[in-house]
Each structure stands twice: as C-alpha cells, then as structure tokens.
C-alpha cells in the first residue's frame, strides 16, 4: 500500500446491452480520486453491470471509460489494475489466507520476501495479524470479508470495487464492517466504488451516491444533498421515506386537487416530496407553514420514533414523531399537519 | 434391530464373497504347485518363475502397460481440456456435444470395435499399436470428461474472476486456481482411462497386429491353446495392480470435496 497513485474514474455515455436488454443506458459519471462512491439501485437497475464494466469483466457497447485519465474501455480486467471484493468474497479455497492475499503479487512476479512483507502489512491493516497460515474455511464471515479486502488492496490498485460487500453479514457485523471499511479506505486513500441495494448503507458509507434505475443514472450527489433535496420521485422514495403530493404546478407553489396550496422553493413542478420527520402536528399559527388536513388512521410505535398514518384526499401520509410523545388524538380524528416550504422539495418527475 | 443388523452383515459378506471368491481361488492356485488345482495347496512360486520365462505373455503385458500409459496421457489431457472448455465457454451445439459424450459408454465394445476396424480400414489406418491407442483414447475420453465435469460443477466461477481482477493470466488462473481444484478428479479420470485401456479386450483384439497383442488378447489365445497356471500368476499380478489403482480412485473420490 502507500504510494498508490490516486486515480479518478470517468464514464461518458457508457452503454451495455445483453441481447435485447439494455442493462446500462448512456451513463455518465465522474468519481473523484480518493472518494468513496456508492452505486445504489434496486435489483435489475444495472448497478452490478456498471461495476463489472468499470472492472473490465464486460466491455461497453458504446461510450468512454477512463481510469486515472487513461481510456480503458477495451482493456481486459487483468490489465486494469483494479482491486475487487466479491459478494461471496471468492477466496481461493486451496490457499491459506497469506497465499490468498499474496496471489496478485505472486502472479505479478514479486519475490517471496517482498511478498511476505506486503502481506503482513495488509493483514495488519485489516487487523488480522497472525491469520496468515489459516485456511479460508476456518474464518468467520467478517474475517473472510477482511481477507478479501486485504487481497484486493495489497497490489496497490488504482480503484477498489466492492460488489454488495456487506450483504452476506448479519446486522451488527455489517455496522462494524461499515466503520472498518471507511477507516481502511481513508487510511490508504483509494478511490472506491461500491454497489449496494441498501440505501442506509449507501448513506452511511458514501461521499457521493449515484442512484440507478432501469440502467439509467437517475441522480447523483453527496448523500446529504440527495436526501434533503432529491430531484425526482424515484430518488425521494428510494432514499428514505417520502410523502409525495401531486397537483397543478405553479411558480413556487403546488395546488392540490382539494385546493390546498403547498409553497416550495422551486419552479413550476408537478409534485413535491416531504419527509415524514419534517411534518409536525398542529403547526404554529403563522403564515410560514404549509398546512394539510388529514384523518388519523393508525399509529405504529417503534422505540425512538412512532409512525403515524393519516389519510388526505385518498392519499396516505406518513408522519414520524418522537416515540415518547403522548398522542391526544384517536384514529378517525381530523388533524392539521404542517411543514415548512424549505422542507417541501420540488420534484421534476 | 440386531437381527436386521446380522442379516445385513451376512448379505454384505455374501456379496463380497460373490465378488472376490473366484479371484481368491485364482490367486491361491497361482501359488499351488499342482497344475490341476489339487488340494491341499502345496505352496510354490514355480508358476511365477515359469511366467518370467514366458516371453509371449511378458511381451504382451509390456505392450498393455505402455499402450495404457499413452492412452491415459492422451485421454486425460484431451478429456480435461474438453471439460474445462465445456465449463468456461458457451457455444452453439454445446448441449448436443455434452449429450453425445455419453452413448459411447453404453454401446457394446464389440460393436464399437467392429465400427473402428471398418472405419480405420476405410481411411487407411492399418492394424497395429497406433490404431489400438486411437481406439482406447476414444473409449476413455468420455470417462475423463464426465469425472472432471462433475468436479467442475462444484467450482465457483467467481474464483476465476477474482484471480483475473488480481492480474492473473488465463494460464496462471488454470495453473493456480482451477487445476488444483479439479486435481483429484483429473487423477481419478486418468486412473479410469488407464483401467479402460488395460482391461480392453475386444477393441485390442480387432485392432492389434497379430505379432503385437496386448495382455488380455494373449491370455485369451493362450487359454484356447491350453490352460497353464502361468495365467493364474499373471492374472494375480494384474488383479493386484488394478485393485490398488481402484482403491486410489476411491480414496481420491472421497477426497473429492476438499471442503
């Protein structure tokens, strides 16, 4: 490690078709050197194909692909100097942990002594000192994950690619590995691209997130921005929970079918999104608030928060309130909900 | 329960007796001084001594061994390559190819042998050891492909992808990842190929040149001329070697799943 030359990744109009299916459709993206980039999408959204295109397991049918400013679209994976962690880790069962980690160095022709030194460094980095002689089948899931990571970074790759790296771990281990992954990535400063269908994981780990749907890049940006100001309904709903209101567009205001006007900071858009945690009950009586009247239909307590379900003109509205709050209302009561225009996010589609 | 247990044991014993009694008798008689199977057995190594002087049997045995070794080498290399190809690549007609690998195992050797004799004559390959080897290799390849393919079915293709991502060439992947994984099956396939060739009678009988026959053919013609206990002796040696080989196969097959 160390001395890894940081390389960004740039995709321009990258398209991949399998038979008649367009798995990746004209995706353009830039990953900054040293950044942690999450590709998020439901299954079948093309995120894994996109990762395999960056890796070089697949070649694009159209578009340009650069790693560190060098065009690589036609370069096979073994020549791309990437490191990859597979969903099932893909550790070589016939080799010890040290042989697994040293494999990339060995095929590159590095001598045994230099190899042993780098392997020991990599083991220390993933906190598995002394595990070198063990066999993969003697390790726990979390340890295998660390070995796979060490194997992927020991060759000083230009880019680290992670395919659903934490999906095989249970919840508590997953959270621990998220922290570890971030620490290791910061320590060696490697450009990292990872694929996940878990929005929480994407929010926790990424510097930037790209949301994919049906092979297209829907939106891209830092997690905070994407969460607070999604531009599309798909992004708003996929990244956390959102209440969507549709109505007649006007400049900075949306008129719902029942005449309620919701003010927001955008132009004339057909819909807006409001996060459940931004909605309050019985808002202060000054004019700054958007107000919606809705009938309470249910309340689900889940510890720190409680989820209220309400109905407004045939639409369900979800509101998140502190779990400890006492609710003075019973199902069937009409409530006034309020949210600020700054939390009323205009959506283009 | 214990009655069933005793019955089961009795049955097992009967089965083993059925399998091994004729062989046991033959082996015992190879050490008996009397050529007429007279009991009690008078221990003697005379038939082994006679065997050592029987040039025709020894030449045939040597022929059988080297033909089996060459067959093993060729059939294992070709069969393993075929299994790897079938595993790694998708191509038109792959299913048909796979399905057509099996019937030759079921076709009676007499028919295969006749077909080969006719075909080799037709394309101008004369009777002789090269023809015998060609025939044996053709017979042995399906066994190797089937054994190796069965092992490959348990191989995780992402292991090859992982090796590629680490910069390994196709040859390095085969050498360091794939071959170690399938090695037990390759060895088992090789032993099968050896056995198929070494035991082969019909095809060797049809394709061998009269002066250069293999051991089974020589034993057959020797018996027709008149039985001698030397045949018991060579047969006992062959059985010993064959059983050792098959025990190795059984051991490797269990080895099969290296975790």
pLDDT in tens, A284-319: 877 788 888 899 888 888 788 888 899 888 888 999
Residues in chain A within 8 Å Cβ distance of B177: 92, 94
Q: What residues contact residue A51 under an 8 Å CB cut-off, 6+ apart?
A: A39, A161, A163, A193, A195
Taking residues A243-255, report their average pLDDT.
87
CB contact under 8 A, A88 and B168: no
Size of interface A-B (CB pairs under 8 A): 70
Residue carrying the six token digits 């076709």: B107
pLDDT exceeds cutoff 70 at A162:
yes
DSSP state of B32: B
Tell me how close the Cα of A42 comes to any Cα of chain B, in angstroms.
Answer: 22
Taking residues A56-79, report their average pLDDT.
91
Neighbours of B99 (CB within 10 A): 9
Interface residues of chain A, partner chain B, Cβ below 8 Å: 55, 57, 76-79, 81-84, 86, 88, 90-94, 103-104, 106-108, 135, 137, 151-152, 155, 161
Interface residues of chain B, partner chain A, Cβ below 8 Å: 156, 158-159, 161-169, 172, 176-177, 180-181, 258-259
Q: What share of chain A is helix, strand, coil (3-state, %, to 5)?
A: 30, 35, 40
Report the residue from B158, B164, B258 with minimal CB separation from A77.
Answer: B164
Q: Residue B64 has what pLDDT?
A: 87
Q: Residue B131 has what pLDDT?
A: 84
Report the residue from A57, A92, A104 with minimal CB separation from B167.
Answer: A104
Q: Structure tokens of A143?
A: 């340890």
Taking residues B123-148, report their average pLDDT.
87
CB A262 within 8 A of CB A272: yes
B206 pLDDT tier (thresholds 50, 70, 90): confident
List A163's β-bridge partners, or say none. Answer: A195
pLDDT exceeds cutoff 60 at B1:
no
* Alpha carbon distance B146, B86 (integer Å): 11
Report the residue from A90, A107, A151 with minimal CB separation from B168.
Answer: A107
List, as one string, the DSSP characters of B33-71.
S-TT--SS--B--HHHHHHHH-HHHHHHHHHHHHHHHHH
List, as one string, the DSSP characters of A185-236.
HHHHT-EEEEEES-HHHHHHH-SEEEEEETTEEEEEE-HHHHHHS-SSHHHH
| b/e per residue A51-71 (b: at least 16 CB within 10 A) | bbbbbbbbebeebebbbbeee
CB contact under 8 A, A155 and B164: no
Q: Residue B38 has what pLDDT?
A: 66
B46 pLDDT tier (thresholds 50, 70, 90): confident
Q: Residue A6 has what pLDDT?
A: 67
Percent of chain A past pLDDT 90, that is, above it, reads 48
Size (chain A), residues: 349
CB A148 within 8 A of CB A161: no
Average pLDDT value for chain B: 83
Q: Residue A159 has what pLDDT?
A: 93
Tell me how close the Cα of A52 comes to any Cα of chain B, in angstroms.
Answer: 10
A1 pLDDT tier (thresholds 50, 70, 90): very low
Taking residues B72-81, report their average pLDDT.
94
B259 pLDDT tier (thresholds 50, 70, 90): very low
pLDDT exceeds cutoff 80 at A49:
yes
CB contact under 8 A, A81 and B167: yes
Taking residues A223-237, report their average pLDDT.
91
The residue in chain B having the minimum alpha-carbon distance to the alpha carbon of residue A135 is: B259
Residues in chain A within 8 Å Cβ distance of B164: 57, 76-78
pLDDT exceeds cutoff 60 at B257:
no
Instruction: Name the residue with higher pLDDT: B122 or B54.
Output: B122
Residue carrying the six token digits 């077909």: B115
pLDDT exceeds cutoff 90 at A329:
no
What are the strands of the beta sheet with A21-31, ordered from one edge? A21-31, A9-18, A62-67, A70-71
What is the per-residue pLDDT across B174-198, written as a single tens digit (0 to 9) for each?
899 999 989 888 988 998 899 888 8
Q: What ipTM is given for this predicted complex?
A: 0.82
Residues in chain B within 8 Å Cβ distance of A106: 176
Tell me how close the Cα of A91 comes to any Cα of chain B, in angstroms.
Answer: 7
* Alpha carbon distance A257, A5 (integer Å): 57
Q: Residue B256 has what pLDDT?
A: 46
pLDDT exceeds cutoff 60 at B258:
no
pTM above 0.90, yes or no: no
A3 pLDDT tier (thresholds 50, 70, 90): very low
Taking residues B237-247, report their average pLDDT.
82
Tell me how close the Cα of B169 comes to any Cα of chain A, in angstroms.
Answer: 7
What is the per-residue pLDDT across A25-41, written as a single tens digit (0 to 9) for each?
999 999 988 999 999 99
Taking residues A121-125, report their average pLDDT.
91
Q: What residues contact residue A242 under an 8 Å CB cut-off, 6+ apart?
A: A230, A233, A236, A273, A274, A275, A276
Taking residues B129-138, report their average pLDDT.
87
List B191's β-bridge partners, or say none. Answer: none
A4 pLDDT tier (thresholds 50, 70, 90): very low
What is the per-residue pLDDT across B217-236, written as a single tens digit (0 to 9) for each?
888 887 787 777 778 888 88
Lowest mean pLDDT among A64-78, A324-338, B32-46, B57-71: B32-46
Residues in chain A within 8 Å Cβ distance of B172: 107
Lowest mean pLDDT among A178-187, A321-330, B202-211: A321-330
Taking residues B148-167, report their average pLDDT.
92
Q: Residue B195 has what pLDDT?
A: 86
CB contact under 8 A, B158 and A90: yes
CB A54 within 8 A of CB A65: yes
pLDDT exceeds cutoff 50 at A2:
no
Neighbours of B194 (CB within 10 A): 24
Average pLDDT value for chain A: 88
**B246 dihedral zone (left: phi>0; alpha: psi -120 to 50; beta):** alpha
Residues in chain B within 8 Å Cβ distance of A135: 259
Residues in chain B within 8 Å Cβ distance of A76: 164
Considering just the CA atoms, what is the radius of gyration of chain B in Å?
A: 22
pLDDT exceeds cutoff 90 at A169:
no
Tell me how close the Cα of A100 comes to any Cα of chain B, in angstroms.
Answer: 10
């Amino acid at each position: 490690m160390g001395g890894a030359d940081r390389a960004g990744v740039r995709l321009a109009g990258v398209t991949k078709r399998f038979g008649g299916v367009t798995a990746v459709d004209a995706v353009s993206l830039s990953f900054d050197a040293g950044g942690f980039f999450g590709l998020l999408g439901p299954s079948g959204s093309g995120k894994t194909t996109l990762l395999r295109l960056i890796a070089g397991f697949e070649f694009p049918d159209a578009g340009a692909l650069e790693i560190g400013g060098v065009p690589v679209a036609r370069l096979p994976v073994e020549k791309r100097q990437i490191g990859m962690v597979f969903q099932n880790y893909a550790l070589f069962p016939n080799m010890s942990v040290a042989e697994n980690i040293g494999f990339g160095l060995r095929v590159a022709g590095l001598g045994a002594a230099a190899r042993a030194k780098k392997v020991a460094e990599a083991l220390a980095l993933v906190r598995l000192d002394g595990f070198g002689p063990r066999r993969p089948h003697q390790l726990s899931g979390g340890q295998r994950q660390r070995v796979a990571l060490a194997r992927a970074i020991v060759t000083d790759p230009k880019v680290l690619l992670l395919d659903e790296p934490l999906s095989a771990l249970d919840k508590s281990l997953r959270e621990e590995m998220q922290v570890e992954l971030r620490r290791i990535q910061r320590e060696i400063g490697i450009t990292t691209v990872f694929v996940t269908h878990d929005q929480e994981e994407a929010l926790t780990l990424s510097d930037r997130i790209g949301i994919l749907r049906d092979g297209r890049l829907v939106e891209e940006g830092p997690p905070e921005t994407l969460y607070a100001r999604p531009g599309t309904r798909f992004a708003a709903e996929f990244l956390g929970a959102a209440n969507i209101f549709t109505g007649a567009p006007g400049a900075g205001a949306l008129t719902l079918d029942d005449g309620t006007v919701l003010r927001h900071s955008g132009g004339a858009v057909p819909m807006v999104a409001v996060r459940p945690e931004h909605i309050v009950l019985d808002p202060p009586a000054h004019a700054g608030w958007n107000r919606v009247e809705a009938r309470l239909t249910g309340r689900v307590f889940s510890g720190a928060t409680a989820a209220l379900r309400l109905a407004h003109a045939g639409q369900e509205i979800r509101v998140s309130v502190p779990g400890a709050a006492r609710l003075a209302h019973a199902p069937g009561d009409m409530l006034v909900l309020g949210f600020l225009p700054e939390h009323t996010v205009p959506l283009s589609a | 329960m214990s009655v069933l247990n005793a019955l089961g044991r009795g049955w097992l014993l009967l089965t083993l007796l059925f399998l091994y009694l004729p062989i046991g008798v033959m082996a015992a008689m190879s050490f008996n001084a009397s050529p007429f199977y007279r009991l009690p057995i008078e221990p003697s190594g005379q038939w082994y001594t006679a065997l050592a002087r029987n040039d025709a049997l020894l030449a045939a045995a040597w022929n059988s061994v080297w033909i089996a070794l060459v067959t093993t080498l060729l059939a294992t290399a070709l069969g393993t390559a075929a299994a790897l190809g079938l595993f790694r690549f998708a191509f038109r007609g792959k299913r048909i190819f796979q399905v057509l690998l099996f019937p030759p195992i079921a076709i009676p050797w007499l028919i295969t042998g006749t077909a080969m004799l006719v075909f080799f004559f037709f394309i101008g390959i004369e009777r002789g050891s090269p023809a015998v080897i060609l025939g044996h290799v053709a017979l042995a390849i399906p066994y190797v492909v089937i054994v190796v393919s069965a092992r490959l079915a348990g191989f995780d293709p992402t292991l090859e992808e992982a090796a590629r991502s680490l910069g390994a060439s196709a040859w390095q992947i085969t050498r360091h990842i794939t071959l170690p994984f399938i090695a037990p099956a390759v060895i088992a396939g090789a032993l099968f190929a050896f056995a198929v060739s070494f035991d082969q009678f019909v095809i060797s009988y049809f394709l061998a040149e009269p002066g250069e026959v293999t051991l089974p053919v020589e034993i057959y013609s020797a018996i027709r001329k008149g039985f001698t206990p030397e045949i018991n002796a060579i047969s006992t040696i062959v059985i010993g070697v064959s059983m050792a080989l098959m025990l190795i196969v059984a051991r490797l097959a269990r080895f099969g799943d290296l975790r």
